[in-house]
Amino acid sequence: MKTKLYLLLVVTAFVCVVLWTAHAQVTRTNPGRQAWEYKSLVYTLGDPQPAFYEDGKQIPSSLTPISKAPGLRAEGWELVSVTGTAYGQYQTYVYWFKRPK
């Protein structure tokens, strides 16, 4: 008699754990993939004067990526890549930033 009672309690506890786990898996929210937005800064050095572009639009050449970086950081942008190329007397640097959408 006691054996049947213990077996019934064990089976009931097992069923409760299974149901609780299934419920937790169904109600768990899935955050999905993180979406990102990107920004590029292109800085070209050469003759006659430096050129500076932000997302394809030219901005005053008195600015540099170094002077622009603190403002971008304050807006949530993170620097992820810097590439540089040289062609003759021209040098071009591309700075890539990203932030969550």
Task: Show the tokens assigned to 5.
Answer: 């009672």
pLDDT tens, position by position, 37-71: 999 999 888 867 788 888 888 887 677 777 788 88
Q: Mean pLDDT for the chain?
A: 81
Quote the radius of gyration of the chain (alpha carbons, Å).
29
Q: Examine the pLDDT at 15 and tell me if it is beyond 70.
A: no
Residue 91: count other Cβ atoms within 10 Å of its Cβ. 14
Q: Which residue has the higher pLDDT, 24 or 45?
A: 45
Q: Quote the CA–CA distance of 12 and 43 in Å, as a whole number.
A: 69
Confidence of residue 89 (pLDDT cuts 50, 70, 90): confident
Query: Residue 28: what pLDDT?
Result: 65
Query: Residue 31: what pLDDT?
Result: 65
Q: Which residue has the higher pLDDT, 68 or 83?
A: 83
Q: Is-contact 60 6, C-beta < 8 A? A: no
Q: Tell me the mean pLDDT in the region 25-46.
A: 81
- Domain locations in the chain? 36-100
Task: Show the tokens assigned to 65.
Answer: 């990526």
Residue 41: count other Cβ atoms within 10 Å of its Cβ. 23
- Token pair 């299974």 is found at 18
Question: Looking at the whole model, is its pTM more than 0.85?
Answer: no
